[in-house]
Structure 1
Amino acid sequence: MSISSSLHLWRRATRSVLFATMIAATGSAFAQTPKHGGTLTVIAQPEPVILTAALSTSSPTGIFSTNVFDGLIEYDKDFHLKPGLAVKWTLSPDSRTLTLDLRHGVKWHDGAPFTSADVKWTLENVWKKYHPRNQALFANVDRVDTPDEYTVVIHFSKPSLAVLSSLNSNGAQVLPKHLYEGTDILNNPYNNKPVGTGPFVFKKWVKGDYILLERNPNYWDAGKPYLDKVIYRVIPDGGARTAALEKGEVQYAPLSPVPARDAQRLAKLPTLRIETKGYEWLSPWLFLDINVDRPLLKDVRVREALYRSIDRDAYNRVVWYGFGKPAVSPVVSTLTEFFEPNVPKYPYDVAKANALLDAAGYKPGADGIRFRLTIDYLPYGDEFQRSAEFIKQAFRKVGIAADIRNQDVPTYTHRIYGDRDFDVTIQWYAGFSDPQVGVTRDYQSDSIGKNIPFTNGSGYRNPKVDQLIRDAQSSGDQAERVKLFKEFQRTVQTDLPSLPLTELHFFTLEASDLHDTVSGVDQVYGSFKNVWYTDPSRHE
């Protein structure tokens, strides 16, 4: 699927808003009438560390918090922009001024009015200072004006065409100014008892067990949501997750929640179905991040040898059961506008890998071992542990012994992005619909060692790459941005600080009596406001 550029998205969306509104008002003579009631139980794995996506880009946080917070805009199934908290958006001809007209009458869950002051404060104090992606995305913001309570005017010193690719509830989550201003933002208690404007209201978090949301009776989208409650259950064990789905104890489980072999069996049950839509906005890729500050990993020949030791076709088949595609670049191939197929390529070649290691001066010892590495992996599910085991075996074929280290999410993120105490780690990022939003954070040098999760973990520093990113970020010419991003891909795939392994194809397992679980390309980070049961009484 070809994903349009941000500017083209804006133009298409502007033309489509009126049409979409007319269709929504008219309805379909054949559409079923949604029913109110019922509780939706969702798997949260791993458990979120924080409940506010304005301060964390982790997937568990995003899956949860976008039901509590609305986005300024939404995306439909064709990447068109739809009104959210903003009912209208206007970009100036020079692409340096974005005006947002906000929805009237929206209330925060504590009853305070949602206004332009909340957007301005969040942009200036959270997105630009703390958000892992938005620090770069909004770097060119010169000032933010709020001429009235319902108008936000964002002035850019240079164009920032990617902004409209990330104004949904996950990409640019707005926080309530009245609860955050003057506080220690990173340690504000409302980070973990969030107050939003969204369809569901936070009620309780029992750590290690569940998070409870209840229907917002005062939601601005009249009649929605249909569900009474949403419960996020923490189920660390993969077998237990499979059993909970099979027994009907859980009705919704996103982001490939069980091993793919189990998913294929579960999807044959009459009570469950498998869904692969709703992930298009993510453009996810999985990679091996290499700590280039480690002495033996500074040599690009060693990094190339690691890459050539991994049979990516077998890896995709054995570990991910075909729910993916071998990657050649950090920009996934479905981003056809930006994807550069002519990057340096490193096919599986054990003989070449051994020759590179010999040339780098790492000869095998009497035991056949050249050196040892530790493999860390993101603790997000069974496939990541199996990935570590697969790569350990691959390294052994070229004389590299590896130890696998497991840890919880807070320990992992601090190890990689704070202490930088690792050799190689298995990680995945969402690239989103523009490389500036999700890809460049893995290569830009200004976030290294700042303990900002899911940024540049490898420690890669290349002034040329930093400049390519800055130039693409500030260009108002989409063709020029595409050219810059293609040069960026060729450069990083020459230097190999990170090794793209797989373009991930995530799946969701959901109850067969659920309706309207996918309303947009970003559904996995969207809300359940449209979701309803055929018979809600069965899920009280």
Structure 2
Amino acid sequence: MSSTRRDFIIRTVVAGTATLPFAAEVFAQSGSGRNLVVNVAPEPSALAIVNGLPNQIVNANIFDGLVTYDSNYKLVPQLAERWETSADGLSITFHLRKGVRWHDGKPFTSADVAFSALEVVKKTSALGANAFAAIKSVDTPDEHTAILRLSFAAPVVWSYLHGQQFNIVPRHIYAGSDPLNNPRNANPLGTGPYKFKEWVRGSHITLVRNPDYWDKDKPYFETLTFKIIPDAGAREAALESGEILYSPHSPVPLSSARRLSKSKDLVVDTKGWEGLVKVFFFDFNLKKKVFQDVRVRRAFAHAIDRQAIANIAWFGFAKPSRGPIPPEQKQHFNPEAPDYAFDPKKAEALLDEAGLRRGADGVRLRINHVNHTFGEEYRRAGDLIKQQLKQVGVEVELINYDTATQLRKLFTDRDFDTSAIDYASGLDPQIGVIRRFWSQSIKDGVPWSNGSNYASKETDAVIQGIVDSRDPAERKKLIDRLQVLVQQDVPSISLVNINLVRIFSSKLQGVDQRPLGALSGLGDVSLAS
């Protein structure tokens, strides 16, 4: 974790909170008979195959991956006990745990790994198809050995082997079906610490302890109940009362999260999401002549106060961005890339130099700005950007669309001057970042691609090198260079890094603190004695 990270865990006493009978029952139970009540919002669309944070928050308890990651993004065993890579990087051999069974009692084997990689991930997930593009086959010489055969050495493969990206599903259930539409996606079979019991739509999802789990001392709880509470106010009340003991996915408005952080009974933090930090960008439409001058783009970067956006729009639950890759991705972040300090005087000088002088009314330039519409914090950010740019003589018309219209205007019609949008950084730049800056990603109708229309031969060459690189050290140099280039060219301004917020009872122990902890299940969580 970055040493500059704020510590959001603040605890003081909140008086007068009533405890619901349901919560009292939870704490009155003893041993492994306890029920852990968790909030998931919005309601998942599926519990297997289909990614999406609500889906993954639940299915992390049902499925294990080949590997997982420690706090330094190093691989640690899960269903694979050990592995080795060939000298040429074209084969990765996984040695699987013996005695692992699916929740229906059938044995987990290498055939499940091969099927899940080739027939599920590569064929049903755009991100997975990208990450696993190099995998041409999976050999299964025996039930406990799976050998990934690669057409070229591809470090990006390792970023997608975590269980919440690479769902290993039972071949005997999914073979011969359309994986995305298999009915077992709503009634899944996994190998993880908890087994599916029921899903009452609009109410709750219940999982029960897997008595045959390979890690014999886990899990602690007898049942997990994921309550579906659509209303944020009701979620807030449930957390305060103790009805809900764990809520990992920004369950309440940030102003409420700040208030709840003062309770001795709750922990409010942004840990467990470092592997999925979102970067909030201010994009220029480079088809507009005025923004083809890099001095104008750099002026905007100096005119926008990113710290104010983090403090005011996100109530401190964000921090100023240093570029397209956040510092939390410490294995990829380049601290030497250019940065743009808040400096309105420098912004004005650059605008003057570019020929955009103030008129009699004090205005240099009039533009429209398409707000990101995913929440009130984004609207607050738009208001702040408008105020800040006005200080240097840029008059901004804010435009708020519904999501479908916003995406069409940005990625199909290209009908905007500037815009704001966030992108998940992902565990590897090849998955989460390069799509923003590769000219090959200027594709009409493809959301979250290269919306600024940025095209640079040098940047393209560096990106191609990242994709093609066989040498991790050389690839890291190219990733560092990419950050330098896009910070110099400023096709977009990286505004703030957004961490999702977790809220949970201070009586819980073992809550995962790793970078993907919020998506790593609750098998290690227990109640303090």
TM-score range, shorter chain: 0.7 to 0.9
Match of 2:259 in 1: 265
Match of 2:268 in 1: 274
Match of 1:247 in 2: 241
The 2-side partners of 1:143 and 1:362 are apart by 61
Amino acid at match of 2:520: G
Identify which of 513, 524, 530 aligns with 2:518.
524
SS of residue in 2 equivalent to 1:197: coil
SS of residue in 2 equivalent to 1:262: helix
Closer, same or farther in 2 for the Cα pair 1:343/1:209, shift >3 Å?
same
Q: CA deviation at 1:362?
A: 11
- Residue identity over aligned pairs, in percent, reads 38
Kindly indicate whether residue 152 of structure 2 is the aligned counterpart of residue 161 of structure 1.
no
Kindly indicate whether residue 376 of structure 2 is the aligned counterpart of residue 374 of structure 1.
no
Q: CA deviation at 1:95?
A: 2.4
Alpha-carbon RMSD: 3.7
Match of 1:226 in 2: 220
TM-score, reference length from structure 2: 0.80
Kept after mapping to 2: 8 A contact 1:371/1:401: yes
Match of 1:514 in 2: 508
The 1-side partners of 2:57 and 2:414 are apart by 27
Amino acid at match of 1:45: A
Kindly indicate whether residue 321 of structure 2 is the aligned counterpart of residue 327 of structure 1.
yes
The 2-side partners of 1:135 and 1:327 are apart by 29
Kindly indicate whether residue 283 of structure 2 is the aligned counterpart of residue 286 of structure 1.
no
Mapping for residues 436-447 of structure 1, pairs under 5 Å: 436-444=430-438
Kept after mapping to 1: 8 A contact 2:510/2:525: yes
Mapping for residues 62-101 of structure 1, pairs under 5 Å: 62-101=56-95
Q: Deviations over 1:213-267 (max 9, x none)?
A: 3333433322422223323334444433322211112111224433444334323
Match of 2:425 in 1: 430
Kept after mapping to 2: 8 A contact 1:55/1:186: yes
Q: Deviations over 1:426-480 (max 9, x none)?
A: 3141343x43454334444556659777655555555544442342234332321
Amino acid at match of 1:525: L
Query: Please, which moves more after superposition, 476-485 or 195-204?
Result: 195-204
The 1-side partners of 2:224 and 2:206 are apart by 6
Closer, same or farther in 2 for the Cα pair 1:236/1:518, shift >3 Å?
same
TM-score, reference length from structure 1: 0.79
Match of 1:113 in 2: 107
Closer, same or farther in 2 for the Cα pair 1:178/1:498, shift >3 Å?
farther
Match of 1:403 in 2: 399
Amino acid at match of 1:179: I
Structure 2, unaligned runs of 5 or more? 4-29
The 1-side partners of 2:465 and 2:182 are apart by 35
Kept after mapping to 2: 8 A contact 1:140/1:474: no
Q: Deviations over 1:158-196 (max 9, x none)?
A: 222343343221132223333333433444444444332
Closer, same or farther in 2 for the Cα pair 1:90/1:399, shift >3 Å?
same
Kindly indicate whether residue 497 of structure 2 is the aligned counterpart of residue 469 of structure 1.
no
Q: CA deviation at 1:98?
A: 0.6
Query: Please, which moves more after superposition, 396-405 or 336-345?
Result: 336-345
The 1-side partners of 2:50 and 2:357 are apart by 42
Closer, same or farther in 2 for the Cα pair 1:415/1:147, shift >3 Å?
farther
The 2-side partners of 1:515 and 1:412 are apart by 42
Q: CA deviation at 1:528?
A: 0.6
Structure 1, unaligned runs of 5 or more? 4-33, 536-540
The 2-side partners of 1:257 and 1:523 are apart by 17
Closer, same or farther in 2 for the Cα pair 1:141/1:106, shift >3 Å?
same
Q: CA deviation at 1:411?
A: 8.4
Q: Deviations over 1:3-26 (max 9, x none)?
A: 9xxxxxxxxxxxxxxxxxxxxxxx
Closer, same or farther in 2 for the Cα pair 1:35/1:465, shift >3 Å?
farther
Kept after mapping to 2: 8 A contact 1:289/1:457: no
Kept after mapping to 1: 8 A contact 2:281/2:496: no
Mapping for residues 344-359 of structure 1, pairs under 5 Å: 344-350=338-344, 359=354
Match of 2:208 in 1: 214
The 2-side partners of 1:194 and 1:416 are apart by 37
Amino acid at match of 2:421: I
Closer, same or farther in 2 for the Cα pair 1:401/1:351, shift >3 Å?
farther
